[in-house]
Amino acid sequence: MTKPDSGLAPPGSAAPQAESLAAVGHSSRRFEALVQPIEDYAIFLLDPEGCVATWNRGAARIKGYEAHEIIGQHFSRFYTEEAKARRWPEHELEQAVLHGRFNDEGWRVRKDGSMFWANVVITALREHDGSLAGFAKVTRDLTVERRQVEALRLSEERFRLLVENVSDYAIFMLDPEGHVVSWNSGATNLIGYRPAEIVGQHVSVFYPIEDLADGLPEAEMRRAAEEGRSVNEGWRVRKDGSMFWANVTLTAIHDAQGRLTGFAKVTRDLTESRRNEELEHSSEQMKQFLALLAHELRNPLAPVRNAIATLRLAPLTSAETDRARDLIERQIVHLTRLVDDLLDVGRITSGKIELREAPLELHEVIAHAVEAAQPFTAGRGQQVDVQVPETPLRMIGDHTRLVQVLQNLLHNASKFSPDGSRIVIDVHAASRVAQIQVRDHGRGLRPGTFESIFGLFSQDRTLPGPSENGLGIGLMLCRSLVELHGGTISATSAGPGTGSTFSIRLPLERTGMHGLGPLSSAPSLSPLSPPLAGAAHAAPSVPAAPALPALRVLIVDDNCDSADSLAMLFELKGHDVRVAYSARQARERIADFTPDAALIDIAMPEIDGYAALRELRGEVRLANTLFAAMTGFGQAADVELTRAAGFEMHLVKPVDAARFDEVLARAAERRQPAPGSAQAKT
């Protein structure tokens, strides 16, 4: 096979080589006159074999050789040993012959052995007949530029690592259309997406539905492009569907020609800060006052509720008396609800609200809320229509608190809507979020009040409506409880007389809570009265208690009316009752009396209920006595305290009569002899 002519003179061909050198010499004289004065570039000629034929000032300055030291030497002298070992100099000449020119960058060696980064262009020179005459070589020293580029690369790498390792801020880049192109660990921590899940997605995925409808993502990018940056605060959506209040800074990025190349976005989670700012309007004294007021109001409510239960057992002589009793009972229920709201406000403003989380089904929450609100709506001939999807809507949350939220909204809708009107609960799921809307056809809302109505003690008394508007804390409780579940609540209205719509958004199937406040599990002590247990029935009746033997009951309460009314109730049920208005009197009462059940108030002067329990527990005769605590506090921590002290049941004032029946039933069980055992003491 004949080897193709590479254009390089074969070894031992002396005559052609001499002719080529003569031609190169002639060309070099003209070339030298042009390039000799140039000092910023090394410009020289090589013969076809790669030996240096000319040398300019720039070559001497850059490479360190004088002309007489380098002319006639092979140009491979400028290359590193590694490059020569892989025949890179020969490769450059071969590529120049094949393609006319060869461009390369790499390390080169000066005379003194130092290295410099060179940009090299080798051009093949040919005679008129096409034969190879040699090569022109231009070399630039780019060491300084390379160091600058390397420094910039290192700086960018350090900045990238810095941004990547920021865990408290979501820092990421968008392209000019708003698609995510980078994603740091802080963004993963805050928003939940991993880089592979979000890069390439549009920034609108982080915005709630109403902001998308208003075109907020595009508006923010336009503002940033026009003004350089855009700063905004608002609700944003995590991957799991939960909401957080975000501070967002969007900065436009332009290239050297001023063209928009994208945006840098920095997001902070200010949910807790926002909540704290909202609660700053209520001073510490107000917090303490609300808690104290609500607790103290429970004491007078307890004897009134006991008296009502007693009246139900006593024979009634007229329908008027029956109606009066029912009226009093309805007002007691209303007062109890207000007291519960006041207690919750105190807990929320002091950061002590507790959620009892568990898996739940939203359909059940709505059904229980409608049932609890039925006395309000039925009393005014109003109809509640529930529209829910057929598929289950599962989430993690506090069933009782969510029922409380919806019951409050239904109560509001009923109170501010005409008799016989229709209230709609519309539920649907979208984008990992359940949206619940409560719509009414009542008095509506004035523009500008959609946000303020959720404030503490906020009421709009400028519109016609019921004279008894309550305390103005129900919607504040709703917002706080919804946000504790990682959701949001908002209100809209077309104006006065057009009705209102309250929208709740809750994340579905969350793996953790992103809301505020401490979370705890409910203790397993006796059932606790739910926050709005009394409000679930407009006129709760005393359920028919199972037939019980006559029991001995000790009541210890410094509130005489509360103790006496409860004693009256138990006596009407056929039980033997002793009343003590202090812990000391309790010791006296048991001198000749062994109670089957003892109900002890906790907040008593001098000797409280805990100390009273310890003294009574010390009596051997009371080993089988069932001890129940009576108190105005019903949080999980309060139940834990009474359980740790030795109480077996925890009753929250005002106590429903059915709860007293539970106490007596449990006490009676202890008196029942086990099969085959001796009869219990009488």
> Which pLDDT does position 518 carry in this prediction?
36
275: Cβ contacts below 8 Å, ≥ 6 apart: 483, 516
SS3 state of residue 256: coil
Give the count of domains, the chain.
5
Query: Is 159 inside any structural domain?
Result: no
Evaluated on CA atoms 210, 213, 217, 223, the torsion sign reads negative
CA distance 507 to 486: 7
Contacts of 320 (CB under 8 A, 6+ apart): none
CATH number at residue 54: 3.30.450.20
**pLDDT 10s digits, 234-266:** 999 999 999 999 999 999 999 888 899 999 999
Residue 647 lies in a domain: yes
CATH number of residue 490's parent domain: 3.30.565.10
* Furthest C-alpha separation in the chain: 145
Residues 602, 614: contact at Cβ < 8 Å?
A: no
Q: Is the domain of 125 the same as that of 217?
A: no
Q: In which band, very low, low, confident or very high, does the pLDDT at 138 lie, cut at 50, 70 and 90?
A: very high
The larger pLDDT score, comparing residue 584 to residue 277, is at 584
Q: Are 369 and 403 in contact (CB under 8 A)?
A: yes
Q: 363 with 502, same domain?
A: yes
How far is Cα 470 from Cα 415, in angstroms, rounded to an integer?
A: 10
Mean pLDDT of 278-287: 62
pTM of the model: 0.48
| 352: confidence class by pLDDT, cuts 50, 70, 90 | low
Residues 388 and 506 in one domain: yes
Q: Average the pLDDT over each of 28-37, 104-113, 589-598 and give the range with the smallest value.
A: 28-37
Q: Do 70 and 132 belong to one domain?
A: yes
**Lowest-pLDDT range, 4-13, 45-54, 338-347, 362-371?**
4-13
Please check whether residue 121 is in contact with residue 99, taking contact to mean a CB–CB distance below 8 angstroms: no
Q: Which of 129-133, 306-310, 647-651 has the lowest mean pLDDT?
A: 306-310
DSSP 321-361: HHHHHHHHHHHHHHHHHHHHHHHHHHHHHTT---B--EEEE
Last residue of a domain, one of 219, 241, 275: 275
pLDDT > 90? residue 47: yes
- Please name which of 28, 72, 20 lies closest in space to residue 48, comparing C-alpha atoms: 20
Q: At what angle do helices 560-572 and 657-671 cross, to 10 degrees?
A: 60
Task: Provide the percentage of residues in the chain whose pLDDT is more than 70.
Answer: 77
Query: Are residues 197 and 261 part of one domain?
Result: yes
At 603 the pLDDT is: 85
Interatomic CA distance for residues 38 and 30, integer angstroms: 15
Residue 93 has pLDDT above 60, yes or no: yes
Is position 334 within any domain?
yes
251, 275, 299 — which closes off a domain?
275
CB 554 within 8 A of CB 588: no
Burial class (CB in 10 A: 0-12, 13-18, 19+), 120: middle
Q: Kindly state the DSSP code that residue 202 receives in the 8-state scheme.
A: B
Residues 306 and 222 in one domain: no
In the predicted structure, residue 287 carries a pLDDT above the cut 90: no
381 and 468 together in one domain: yes
Inter-residue contact 433 to 395 (CB < 8 Å):
no
Which amino acid, residue 17? Q
Euclidean distance between CA atoms 33 and 36, whole angstroms? 6
The per-residue pLDDT for 24 is 53
Report pLDDT for 326: 72
Residue 578 is predicted with a pLDDT of 94
Q: What's the rounded mean pLDDT across residues 651-675?
A: 81
Q: Is 531 a residue whose pLDDT tops 60?
A: no
- Return the minimum-mean-pLDDT range out of 41-45, 358-362, 373-377: 373-377
The confidence score (pLDDT) of residue 80 equals 94
Predicted confidence band at 605 (pLDDT cuts at 50, 70, 90)?
confident
DSSP H or E segment with residue 289: helix 284-313
CB 565 within 8 A of CB 306: yes
pLDDT at 520: 36
Domain containing residue 317: CATH number: 1.10.287
For residue 594, is it within any domain?
Answer: yes
Between the alpha carbon of residue 230 and those of residues 222, 226, 252, 512, the distances in Å are 9, 9, 9, 32
- Is there a single domain that holds both residue 396 and residue 493? yes
Would you place residue 516 in the very low, low, confident or very high pLDDT band (cuts 50, 70, 90)?
very low
Tell me, yes or no, whether 318 and 387 share the same domain: no
Question: Has residue 524 been placed in a domain?
Answer: no
Q: Could you tell me if 457 and 594 lie in one domain?
A: no
Same structural domain for residues 667 and 570?
yes
pLDDT tops 50 at residue 528: no
On whether the CB atoms of residues 268 and 169 are closer than 8 A, the answer is yes
Quick one: 130 and 239 in the same domain?
no
Give me the pLDDT at residue 682, please.
Answer: 38
Separation CA 189–CA 203 (nearest Å): 17
Sheet strands side by side (includes 42-46): 42-46, 132-141, 115-126, 101-109
H/E run at residue 234: strand 229-237
Question: What is residue 226's predicted lDDT score, i.e. its pLDDT?
Answer: 93
Closest CA to 504 of 441, 396, 429, 574: 429
The three-class DSSP label of residue 552 is strand
CA atoms of 87 and 93, how far apart (whole Å):
10
The separation between the first and the last C-alpha atoms of the chain, rounded to the nearest angstrom, is: 125
What does the pLDDT look like over 262-282, one tens digit per residue?
999 999 999 888 877 776 665
Phi, psi of 259, deg, nearest 5: -80, 140
Residue closest to 518 by CA, chosen among 354, 349, 278, 344: 354
Tally: H helices and E strands in the chain: 21, 20
What are 531's strand-pairing partners? none
Q: What is the pLDDT of residues 411-422, one digit of tens each?
A: 889 988 999 999
Phi, psi values for residue 478, rounded to 5°: -60, -50
Q: How far is it, in rounded angstroms, from Cα 35 to Cα 480?
A: 81
Range of the domain at 320: 284-349
Query: With 90 as the cut, is the pLDDT of residue 450 above it?
Result: no
Angle at the Cα of 671 (from 666 to 672), degrees rounded to 5? 95
Structure tokens at 292: 């104290």
Query: For residue 546, is the peptide bond before it cis, meaning its omega torsion is within 30 degrees of 0?
Result: no
Q: What are phi and psi of 403, to 5 degrees?
A: -60, -40
Mean pLDDT check: name the lowest of 217-226, 552-561, 629-638. Answer: 629-638
Domain assignment present for residue 544? The answer is no
Domain boundary residue, one of 349, 374, 402: 349
pLDDT at res. 159? 56
Which two structure tokens, joined as six digits, stand for 406? 């919806």
As a whole number, mean pLDDT of residues 81-107 equals 94
pLDDT value at position 457? Answer: 61
Domain membership of residue 610 (yes or no) is yes
List the beta bridge partners of residue 361: 394
| Interval 12-26 mean pLDDT | 53
pLDDT in tens, 109-119: 999 999 999 99
Between CA 662 and CA 665 the distance in angstroms is 5
Residue-averaged pLDDT of the chain: 81
The tens digit of pLDDT for each residue in 455-468 reads 766 566 555 555 44
Confidence of residue 678 (pLDDT cuts 50, 70, 90): very low
pLDDT at 11 over 60: no
pLDDT at 616 over 70: yes
158 part of a folded domain: no
Which residue did the predictor score with more confidence, 323 or 127?
127
Given a cut of 70, whether residue 554 has pLDDT beyond it is yes
Residue 676: predicted pLDDT? 44
